[in-house]
Amino acid sequence: MKWFLALWAAPIALLGSWYGLSYYDMNFGIFMLTRDAHDLVFRIYGHVLGIPPESIPPLVARAIVVDSLLVFAIIAFRRRKRIIAWWTARRQPASDLPSADSLSSAP
């Protein structure tokens, strides 16, 4: 499961950091992090996909959200027994739980 999460999070972190750095032109002397490279990449993707380049970032953001929901659904499905046990313990009324007085006055 750790590998699954790492393989999901690594590309998202890489893409997000590249997008943020290149969008704000914080290039540290690296061409790929310049705003010119940012615009070029989106122009190429827009040309390949046949859509305007400015419509690509919202599409990528929606894809990341959908993929993230899918990953979290898989994790929840794998841990469903623990989640159900936690939920039922949380929903148990306080009157059913033993009080501190009843535990200390045991014979």
Q: State the pLDDT confidence band at 95, using cuts at 50, 70 and 90.
A: low
46-83 pLDDT per residue, tens: 999 999 999 999 999 999 999 999 999 999 998 898 88
CA angle, 18 then 21 then 26, to 5°: 140
Can you tell me the distance from the alpha carbon of 31 to that of 1, in angstroms, rounded to the nearest whole number? 36
Q: Kindly state the average pLDDT of the residues 20-48.
A: 95
Q: State the pLDDT confidence band at 86, using cuts at 50, 70 and 90.
A: confident
Which token pair is 43? 């122009």
Comparing 8-22, 37-51, 85-99, which segment has the lowest mean pLDDT? 85-99
CB-based contacts of 8, cutoff 8 Å, min separation 6: 67, 68, 71
Q: State the pLDDT confidence band at 37, using cuts at 50, 70 and 90.
A: very high
* Predicted TM-score of the model (pTM): 0.73
Comparing 34-38, 75-79, 90-94, 101-105, which segment has the lowest mean pLDDT? 101-105
